[in-house]
Structure 1
Amino acid sequence: MTEHATASSPRFSKAKAIAWLWRTLSRWPLPRLWRFASTLGPLVYRFSQRERKVTDLNLEVVYPTLGKNERSLIAKQSLRHSTATMMELGYAWMAEPSRIEAGILEVHGRDKLDSARAEGRGVIVLAPHFGNWEVLNFWLSSHFPFTAMYEPPKIAALEPIIRHGRERMGAQLVPTNPRGVAALLKALKRSEAIGILPDQEPDWGSGVFAPFYGHNAYTATLLPKLVARTQARVVTGVALRLPGRGFAIHFLDADERVYSPDEVQSASGVNASVEASIALDPAQYQWEYKRYRKVIEEQQGHPEANDFRLY
């Protein structure tokens, strides 16, 4: 539930402090932001027990053949990149658009979006928590009519800032409810682009279990419904960080199973598509997210749940 804050409340003061930090960091050049993240990242790994443990466990699950030292290196790099993403929020939302555009040094696969729209088809962009997804939102909304679902932040006083930052280049944000789904359908029927977070666990009843690196993860089933009603093309989109220099936008063809009317097959294709994007640089994925949480909820009391004991 979103928490409202009065001008004298601690949450209002926290919101003011966060907004000040975003504005300050928005003026920093990308090399400086990366150096700052490189300083803070090791501290996050050392002192943020929850993030470190979940990251280590997820990497152990998805990369069982890697040695402990190799996984530890990826974990440290991952938390450095996650820290960089947090440091870059002000940059993505508040910096002059020309600065952000100049920081996008490469764009790969744009033809996948252009050709789909030329055929009169909408495009569904699967945007996992990889690299800097806010920079991806900036680029998409700068170059295409773009709609994405939006859930207000817990600190209500920050909503105007975040919403303005995400909408300032023309993106339309819609709620995460049936009205929002209807808006996504309309956008696709207009041959526009929409964005979906493919690796965010849905509420019970809104997903199915499908393999993610060989282990079941609860995955949303919105995609096959949208594809069935619009014949949209599906791509995976990421903003790969080029440390200290900028970003490279990549659009990858989604796994063909995403077009299946079978929800489990489609969800399996979604997860395989996320895996393919992670392969660009595993350290840039947000491994501290509890991707297998719903498995644990279902398996409470079962011996198999011990594999995910840190959740």
Structure 2
Amino acid sequence: MSVTQRLSDLAYATGWAVVRGMPEPMANGVFRAAADLGARRNGPGTRQMRRNYARVVPQAGPAELDELVRAGLRSYARYWKETFRLPGMDHKAIYRQVDDLVVGKPLVDAALERGKGVILALPHTGNFDVSGIWLVGHCGPFTTVNERLKPESLYQRFVSYRESLGFEILPSEGGAYRVLMERLRANKVVCLVADRDLSKRGVPVTFFGEETRMPVGPARLAASTGAELLIVDNTFTEDGWSLRIHTPVHVHGREDVAPATQRMADAFAADIATSPADWHMMQKLWLADLDDDRRKALQGSR
């Protein structure tokens, strides 16, 4: 384990141990201050967030982008504050609060009544763990995939955290796709974060007018199992959370996987444009932002 990995693991362990017990006003102040400091320091992640937002809101001038980045960092800080506090929060109360406002519940119910399972695809927006708590309360445990973080101890912390919320977690490597198919064939729910996959496996899509890649998994699973593919929009409200499930994406066989992935990307874009500050993308997403060698390698893999 490298020093960086050890420090990262310690930081997350401290977050779950300390932030969980903070009074809410203190936690709010600490994380908002951290977000504002990040905006002032303007590090690589913040600068990339600004470039990403410039695609989402192309008409924005410098001052508007400054404000959007500040709001985006505060939204992202809120996500981490809630991540560290959720294990100690009242999950039944969270379920009731979200259930009062959720839009699209009948789509999930209808998909499960068909008996072929349901795939919920979402971008990195809002707090999807809170939406997961609602989903567990509504229809029981669901299955999702976690990146295999390093060190292993950090990955296990995230697995334990999400399992404590009622999720079934699969590692991104090691047969996850086969298990996801089994769950769908058993008429279960699968949730996949699907707005970024800069690998040779990703499907080329146009996103906010520029080329990038998104995971093939959601559409491919739908084609293979007949499961309904639905889009999820997670955002924050001033004192809670908003969850909207919408836009059934029908995948008509394997030849429709790439077009269906584009339809998924279009739905993501419409949601993100409505609430851009709640899209927490601080990594390079569009091919134009990659170095020449990486971009040529991806473009040559079609």
Task: Settle same-fold status: TM greater than 0.5.
Answer: yes
The worse-fitting range, judged by mean Cα deviation, of 166-175 and 115-124 is: 166-175
Offset at residue 239 of structure 1 (A)? 3.2
Q: Which amino acid aligns with 1:37?
A: F
Q: CA, structure 1 residues 297+168, in 2 after alignment: closer, same or farther (shift >3 Å)?
A: same
Q: CA, structure 1 residues 49+11, in 2 after alignment: closer, same or farther (shift >3 Å)?
A: closer
**Paired residue secondary structure (1:108):** coil
**Paired residue secondary structure (1:251):** strand
Residue 220 of structure 1 corresponds to 215
Q: CA, structure 1 residues 260+123, in 2 after alignment: closer, same or farther (shift >3 Å)?
A: same
Q: Which amino acid aligns with 2:77?
A: T
Residue 241 of structure 1 corresponds to 236
Does the alignment pair 1:173 with 2:199? no
Offset at residue 72 of structure 1 (A)? 2.2
Matches of 1:293 and 1:22, distance apart in 2: 35
What percentage of residue pairs aligned between the two structures are identical?
21
Offset at residue 81 of structure 1 (A)? 0.6
**Paired residue secondary structure (2:203):** strand
Matches of 1:141 and 1:121, distance apart in 2: 18
1:211-269 Cα distance to aligned partner (Å, 9 max, x none): 010100112212232111111111122432123x1212221224557987334312211
Residue 42 of structure 1 corresponds to 36
Does the alignment pair 1:149 with 2:121? no
The correspondence for 2:65, drawn from 66, 71, 84, is 71
For the Cα contact (< 8 Å) 2:112–2:187, is it kept in 1? Answer: yes
For the Cα contact (< 8 Å) 2:184–2:225, is it kept in 1? Answer: yes
Q: Which amino acid aligns with 2:262?
A: S
Matches of 1:120 and 1:231, distance apart in 2: 9
TM-score relative to the length of structure 2? 0.85
Does the alignment pair 1:274 with 2:268? yes
Aligned residues: 294
Residue 109 of structure 1 corresponds to 104
List gaps (5 residues or longer) in structure 1. Answer: 303-311
| CA RMSD across the alignment | 2.9
**Paired residue secondary structure (2:60):** coil
Does the alignment pair 1:232 with 2:227? yes
Q: Which amino acid aligns with 2:197?
A: E
Matches of 2:292 and 2:261, distance apart in 1: 18
Offset at residue 289 of structure 1 (A)? 2.5
Residue 113 of structure 2 corresponds to 118
Q: CA, structure 1 residues 23+259, in 2 after alignment: closer, same or farther (shift >3 Å)?
A: farther
**Paired residue secondary structure (2:101):** strand
Q: Which amino acid aligns with 1:148?
A: T
For the Cα contact (< 8 Å) 2:53–2:276, is it kept in 1? Answer: no
1:76-112 Cα distance to aligned partner (Å, 9 max, x none): 1111111111222112344343454365362221111
What is the 5 A alignment of 1:1-311? Answer: 3=1, 12=6, 15-28=9-22, 33-98=27-92, 100-101=94-95, 104=98, 106-144=101-139, 145-177=141-173, 179-204=175-200, 206-243=201-238, 245-254=239-248, 261-293=255-287, 296-297=290-291
Residue 299 of structure 2 corresponds to none
For the Cα contact (< 8 Å) 1:109–1:252, is it kept in 2? Answer: yes
List gaps (5 residues or longer) in structure 2. Answer: 297-302
**Paired residue secondary structure (2:194):** coil
Q: Which amino acid aligns with 1:51?
A: G
**Paired residue secondary structure (1:211):** strand
Matches of 2:283 and 2:247, distance apart in 1: 24
Offset at residue 284 of structure 1 (A)? 0.5
**Paired residue secondary structure (1:88):** helix
For the Cα contact (< 8 Å) 1:147–1:195, is it kept in 2? Answer: yes
